[in-house]
Amino acid sequence: MNNYLTPNVASLPPSGIRKFFDLVATMKDVISLGVGEPDFVTPWTVRESGIFSLEEGQTMYTSNAGLLELREELSHHLNKTFNLSYDPHHEILITAGASEAVDLVMRAVLGPGDVALVPDPSYVSYAPCAILAGASVTYVPTYAREDFRLRVEDLARVYTPNAKLLVLSYPNNPTGAIMNREDLLPIADFANEHDLLVLADDIYSDLTYDQKHVSFASLPGMRDRTLFVNGFSKSYAMTGWRIGYVAGHSGLIQGMTKIHQYTMLCAPIMGQFAAIEALRSASEAKNDMVTAYDRRRRLMVHGFRQMGLDCFEPLGAFYVFPDISKTGLSSEEFAEQLLREEKVAVVPGTAFGPSGEGHIRCSYAYSMEQLQEALKRIAHFVERRLTNL
């Protein structure tokens, strides 16, 4: 039946992560550092409000844009946290996870002939979504020596005039890189000069460890050029609830709302009620999670450096992205051999784009004990490889 598929879908490569997932699934007693979601359960107060909404019989559709109460709360929150100002009536759209928001942005603004500029390495969905929207993708390489920040020189090098959308995803999955105000300003000038729209995927914005996140949309003149995407999954450990959102200029949000109303209708109502509670009363629970991630982050960086590997210090998200090229193995070889010999699952950097070669992504959304055991096993593996060289 494959010939029924459109060429676009047929030629879309399956996620590199999926391939690895299938391999891991066949093995026993694996310690996995491969998971891109928090190990915490959603804070109780948030779960409880979801339960209460069910008891109250809140089981209907909401408006397409989402509960006004949630949008109002968000508008207030974004103002307080990132100094952003969005009208809850026309400039915020609640989506089924930030993933839907990414897809909506791509479909609303990209079409055949357009190019999306995507940082490399970065989250696995950007390129496929752009391609499904009919556009093509140009990767902007980022480098360990630059702390995996997106540099305007590298952007200028790959830019072509048909580029319409630039994706910014910081704090970054898989590298854990962040970009501060000074890093972002030249990108803002470039976007202005070349009239680029910017999809700012700020999903990890609450998980930073050294400095507060700076939202690209908050830079001078960037608000209307930016589609600010965020969600509750990472900050509040709410991945399964599927609540995200996009905020931006009302004209763009209106366009996205049209697609959303015909395809998704609305985000799940129970999750929307839970999200309201998260914003109102889960900030302490959130901070506790950030503190726990920070301890683990330090442990992981220390662990990899002890093994003699270069490991850039990630200042955001919950991943470390050590350089394993010293072992003489490619990312895929390293991940596969490590899994077979030591039963530790990590994700090859190349699953996130060609510039991920020479690196592996290790999530530290695991307990201290699991991380310590995993580090021990990885150290054995690395030691064997280094002494064989």
Partner 1 sequence: MLNEEDRRLLKLIAEDCRLTPEELSIQTGLSTDYITKRIIDWENDKVIVGYQPMINWDRTGDEKVSALIEVKVLPQRGYGFDKIAKRLQKYPEVKALFLMSGGYDLSLLIEGKTMQDVALFVAEKLASLEHVQSTATHFVLRRYKQDGIELLGEEETIQRLVVSP
Q: List residues binding partner 1 (CB under 8 A).
A: 15, 17, 20-21, 24-25, 30, 32, 34-37, 39, 41, 123-125, 173, 291, 295-296, 298-299, 302, 345, 347, 351
Report, in Å, the least distance between residue 195 CB and partner 1. Answer: 31
Report, in Å, the least distance between residue 148 CB and partner 1. Answer: 17
Q: How far apart are CA 127 and CA 367, in angstroms?
A: 32
Report, in Å, the least distance between residue 63 CB and partner 1. Answer: 30
For partner 1, give the closer residue by CB, 75 or 122.
122
Q: Give the closest residue to 168 by CA, choosing from 238, 257, 229.
A: 229
Q: Give the closest residue to 71 by CA, choosing from 233, 253, 219.
A: 253
Q: Give the closest residue to 122 by CA, choosing from 195, 200, 187.
A: 200
Q: Position 206: which residue type? A: D
For partner 1, give the closer residue by CB, 39 or 224.
39
Q: Phi/psi class of residue 170: alpha, beta or left (left: φ > 0; alpha: ψ in -120 to 50)?
A: beta
SS3 label, residue 19: helix
For partner 1, give the closer residue by CB, 51 or 265.
51
For partner 1, give the closer residue by CB, 16 or 88.
16
Dihedral angle of Cα 225, 231, 235, 239, to the nearest 10 degrees: -150
Report, in Å, the least distance between residue 282 CB and partner 1. Answer: 18
Report, in Å, the least distance between residue 182 CB and partner 1. Answer: 23
Q: Position 57: which residue type? A: G
Q: What are phi and psi of 115, to 5 degrees?
A: -120, 135
380 touches 342 (CB < 8 A):
yes
- Beta-carbon count within 10 A of 263 CB: 12
Q: How far apart are CA 239 and CA 51, in angstroms?
A: 17
Report, in Å, the least distance between residue 84 CB and partner 1. Answer: 26
Q: How far apart are CA 198 and CA 168, in angstroms?
A: 7
Report, in Å, the least distance between residue 184 CB and partner 1. Answer: 25
For partner 1, give the closer residue by CB, 42 or 138.
42
Of the chain, the end-to-end C-alpha distance in Å amounts to 48
Place of tokens 């630059």: 146
For partner 1, give the closer residue by CB, 86 or 321.
321
For partner 1, give the closer residue by CB, 125 or 272.
125
Report, in Å, the least distance between residue 271 CB and partner 1. Answer: 17
For partner 1, give the closer residue by CB, 270 or 344.
344
